[in-house]
Amino acid sequence: MKFSETFQATKGLVRFSYDGRYAASCSKHRLVIRESDSFQIVHVHTCLDAVEELKWSPNSLFLLCAMYKRGAVQVWSVEQPEWSCKIEEGSAGLVNCFWSPDSKHVMTTCDFQLRITLWSLVNKSVAYIKHPKLAVGGVDFSRDGKFMAVAE
């Protein structure tokens, strides 16, 4: 068994991509993406605030950094490091965020289960699902990703 050198990560925020090619870690505002076989740094990004949750997209091409206290999410591309996306829920607050199965949409749940917002990374469109039953959970997708079920 081989071990890498140690590196900093806040609150255990270290995640391997689904395809196993990359490992990402966050230390406060800093996101570091490394090759998983050599742990060589591929990209370093600075987020708006301290990252509280880190999620890979299902296709392993994007990383989502959730900053719940700030009510914001930042999305970073592995293939195009100059590309990024900033999502802000504003006064509604932010309690959860997750990927759609196609990796083209980010979904956020605002405080008090007022709505789930679907943010398109392709055409910047926004859609809303009002009054979901649960802030975390209560949403599931069919195996092929074509259908979504939401508990209301």
CB count in 10 Å sphere of residue 32: 19
SS3 97: strand
What are 7-63's pLDDT values in tens digits?
777 788 999 999 999 999 999 999 999 999 999 999 999 999 999 999 999 999 999
Residue 55 DSSP class: E
* Residue 106 near residue 127, CB atoms below 8 Å: no
**pLDDT of 79 over the 90 cut:** yes
Closest CA to 51 of 34, 72, 76, 33: 72
d(CA 80, CA 100): 20
Instruction: Find all residues with CB under 8 Å of 144, minimum gap 6, and list them.
Output: none
Single pTM value for the model: 0.90
Mean pLDDT of the 55-83 span: 97
